[in-house]
Structure 1
Amino acid sequence: MTERYSEAYAAAHGRFTVIPAVYVLLRRGDDVLLQLRAGTGYYDGHWAAGAAGHVEQGESLLQAAAREAAEELGVAVAPGDLEFLTLEHRTGDGAAVDERIDLFLGCRIWTGTPALQEDKAVDLGWFALDALPDPVVPHERVVLERWADGSLTPITPIGF
């Protein structure tokens, strides 16, 4: 028998929704691939991870990472080639939509040539980790800078 928390149980115990997302940072030497966001209403005009997105229901974090890399960059990544960087736990103004768990993964091996596949970005570029473009989505900049200087920890809290 599989035990599950019911919606009634969650409602009675005051639980909130945490939105999980994955970020795939392709790395070539000391450079990282970033996209310039546009037309999304969320940090448009900012540089961001080459591939990122929400985990879909029934999908593992690694499956989501591989799917996002294919959908956004047209590349295939194998789950075994993904390197755990950090789990970023973010909170905002207390709204459920602002409770986030972001898994950042590095990847040095992929198949295909990265290219924009969707209309949510207008540019794609390789940047040295120690010379990032400006602006970068703030919570992503934290991870990138700490990755560059070696101070990245397994858990990165933001907003607490």
Structure 2
Amino acid sequence: MIERFVVVPASYVFLLRPGTGDGDEVLLQLRQNTGYMDAHWAAAAAGHVERGETAYDAAAREAREEIGVDVDDLSFVTSMQRTRHAELVDERIDFFFTCRAWTGEPRIVEPAKCAGMDWFPLDALPERVVPHERFVLDRLGTGVESYTTFGF
């Protein structure tokens, strides 16, 4: 019997607010103790989609669990099929959302996994951002395709 490969789904939420200049700012967290891209900035809320859960539901749940906010309105940005071509990892399907309205004040809820949280202008992101997330962030507001690939 041929074994099928496994695709791992995840949802990402980029909280956006008007910046002090012309563009928007995005809330990012500094990863630590996760075993993946530690010491890199990443979406403030992200995680795997659980069995029986939609990508939208996962995004809302992750926002509550990781930054303590209830998202009022999620806007779908793109889905990304990705892999790390040279390494043996599961293939991934990621769903990216933005949110401009939420209830609660974003805060670090999981300090063991998050070394910091800050707002950054979209046109002045920190140097170390998780690469596939930066791919999406660099294209926000420029008409990013509804389906993208990364790592092939």
TM-score by length of 2: 0.90
Alignment map for 1:134-153 (pairs within 5 Å): 134-148=127-141, 150-153=142-145
Deviates more, 1:58-67 or 1:103-112: 58-67
Deviation at 1:63, TM superposition (A): 1.1
| Separation of aligned partners in 2, 1:42 and 1:89 | 18
Deviation at 1:59, TM superposition (A): 1.1
TM-score by length of 1: 0.86
Q: 4+ residue runs of structure 1 moved beyond 6 angstroms? A: none
SS in 2 for 1:85: strand
Which has the larger share of helix? 1
Are residues 1:100 and 2:100 paired?
no
Match of 1:120 in 2: 113
| Separation of aligned partners in 2, 1:157 and 1:17 | 17
Q: Which amino acid aligns with 1:16?
A: F
Root-mean-square deviation (Å): 1.4
Q: Quick check: 2:46–2:63 contact (8 Å CA) kept in 1?
A: yes
The aligned length equals 145
Match of 1:31 in 2: 25
Larger radius of gyration: 1
| Separation of aligned partners in 1, 2:38 and 2:115 | 10
Deviations 1:81-128 (A, max 9, x none): 110111111012463x43000000000011000001002111000000
SS in 2 for 1:56: coil
SS in 1 for 2:119: strand
Q: Quick check: 1:90–1:98 contact (8 Å CA) kept in 2?
A: no
Deviates more, 1:65-74 or 1:86-95: 86-95
Match of 2:125 in 1: 132
Q: Quick check: 2:81–2:150 contact (8 Å CA) kept in 1?
A: yes
Match of 2:60 in 1: 66
Are residues 1:21 and 2:10 paired?
yes
Which consecutive residues of structure 1, in runs of 5 or more, have no partner in the other structure?
1-11
Match of 1:159 in 2: 151
| Separation of aligned partners in 1, 2:34 and 2:5 | 25
Deviation at 1:14, TM superposition (A): 4.0
Which consecutive residues of structure 2, in runs of 5 or more, have no partner in the other structure?
19-23
Which has the larger share of strand? 2
